[in-house]
Amino acid sequence: MTEIPATMFAALQRHEGYSGTAEGPAIADAADYLDAAEIPVPTPGKGQVLIRLRTASVNPSDLHFIKGEYGQPRIKGNPAGFEGCGDVVAAGEGAEGLVGQRVAFVVALGCSGAWAEYATTDAINCIPLRPDISDDDGSAQIVNPLTAMAMVDIARQDGESFVVSAATSQLGKLMVSLGKDLGLKPIALVRRAEAVQPLKDMGAAEVVVTTDEDAVQQFAKISAALKPRVFLDAVSDQFSEQVFAAMPNKARWISYGKLSSELPKLTMMGQLIFQSKRIEGFWLTSWMMSTPPADQMRVVGEVQARFADGRWKTDVSVHLPLRDVVSGLADALKKTDGKVIITP
Ligand SMILES: NC(=O)c1ccc[n+]([C@@H]2O[C@H](COP(=O)([O-])OP(=O)(O)OC[C@H]3O[C@@H](n4cnc5c(N)ncnc54)[C@H](OP(=O)(O)O)[C@@H]3O)[C@@H](O)[C@H]2O)c1
């Protein structure tokens, strides 16, 4: 039987509810949003589990959330952090079957977050991990991989090429390599020239550097040749709008992230009318609510297989000790091209 202490260390939300801002995920100092504290270890309720943390990934959604800009309100005094990997050490009624298992998890609404020595969540938000999945991959096993699977599935139904912005993000890389494996032609948008070759090696048919002066013209040429009909967009700024405007008839601009704080202006309304173009959003939470559990389990199995055999991996920029999150997170996030992974 695992000894569970009475208290634990955690990075707690400083604020309540929504902020009303739309600045994007950049933070200057995590202390503006988080407090370090020793608090009681939470008790799992009915259908919930208590997880001893091994690793927690820092996703842009976590940063939107602590800033009060995410799709659910903050709870002041509750540990932050949506996603992690750990060992189930206790369970409420009906969830006892998971005790003793190493799981990937996402924190359910109102549960105790992952940036803490212990977290709680609903048992259905846990995925028992194969032994050949590392703790780092386990901490980034749900949010990005399931989103990649779901969105590339949307893209493949609309032709053989699709566009991915912020392609150096973890999710961007997952989608580019998955697209290549499925015989598709991903067009990657990046903002650093040194990312071009790695993205091509990963499977991008074309890569456009968005900071090039003629980036829109470059994209327009590629678009005319490859005819992508789906734009999977994590940036959602004015450049995105220009990309969408350069796409062919029936193109779909699917915004799933707001990495840029710039609010785009629509310049081509006629295309919505005369070219049957559409602007949409994608949120994994809605996908999970609308996708039958058996289909989700099939996708989960495929995700673990891809990480286990090396087709996918989590690039890690920094392992950040939990006790350094409040003081060190903003600096840790300055390193690009990899995830910050929190360790207890
Ligand atoms: N809707 C959903 O259900 C859902 C699910 C999962 C993730 N997401 C979204 O997917 C996006 C990527 O997530 P992730 O975890 O893969 O991110 P990540 O690995 O943390 O990478 C983010 C990368 O995006 C690039 N970037 C940041 N700001 C940018 C900007 N203003 N313009 C262009 N590129 C920018 C940076 O790369 P460089 O420095 O190399 O440019 C940065 O390293 C986020 O927006 C996240 O919120 C949405």
- pLDDT tens, position by position, 20-41: 998 999 999 999 999 999 999 9
Q: 169: CA distance to ligand 1 center in Å?
A: 5
Q: 123: CA distance to ligand 1 center in Å?
A: 28
**Cβ-proximal residues to 329 (8 Å cutoff; 6+ apart), any chain:** 27, 30, 34, 58, 320, 340
Q: Are 126 and 105 in contact (CB under 8 A)?
A: yes
Q: What is the mean pLDDT of the chain?
A: 97
Test site for ligand 1: of 70, 259, 316, most ligand atoms within 8 A of the Cβ: 259
pLDDT digits (tens, 9 = 90+) for 110-167: 999 999 999 999 999 999 999 999 999 999 999 999 999 999 999 999 999 999 999 9
pLDDT digits (tens, 9 = 90+) for 74-121: 999 999 999 999 999 999 999 999 999 999 999 999 999 999 999 999
Q: Are 34 and 13 in contact (CB under 8 A)?
A: yes
**Cβ-proximal residues to 174 (8 Å cutoff; 6+ apart), any chain:** 144, 145, 148, 312
Test site for ligand 1: of 62, 66, 165, 171, most ligand atoms within 8 A of the Cβ: 171
Q: Atom 6 of ligand 1 has which residue's CA nearest to it? A: 144
What is the C-alpha to C-alpha distance for residues 56 and 65, in angstroms, rounded to an integer? 15
The label of the residue with tokens 């990649």 reads: 148
CA 283 → CA 128, 254, 278, 333, distances in Å?
A: 23, 10, 17, 23
Confidence at residue 51, expressed as pLDDT on a 0 to 100 scale: 98
Q: Pairing relation of β-strands 83-91 and 102-106?
A: antiparallel
Q: Are 175 and 257 in contact (CB under 8 A)?
A: no
**Domain architecture of the chain: domains with CATH:** 7-140+314-343 (3.90.180.10), 151-285 (3.40.50.720)
Mean pLDDT value across residues 56-72: 96
Amino acid at residue number 22 = A
- Residue 98's CB is within 10 A of a number of other CB atoms, namely 19
Looking from the CA of residue 284, the nearest atom of ligand 1 is 3
Q: How many residues does the chain have?
A: 344
Q: Pairing relation of β-strands 48-57 and 83-91?
A: antiparallel
The label of the residue with tokens 């690009």 reads: 336
Confidence at residue 337, expressed as pLDDT on a 0 to 100 scale: 79
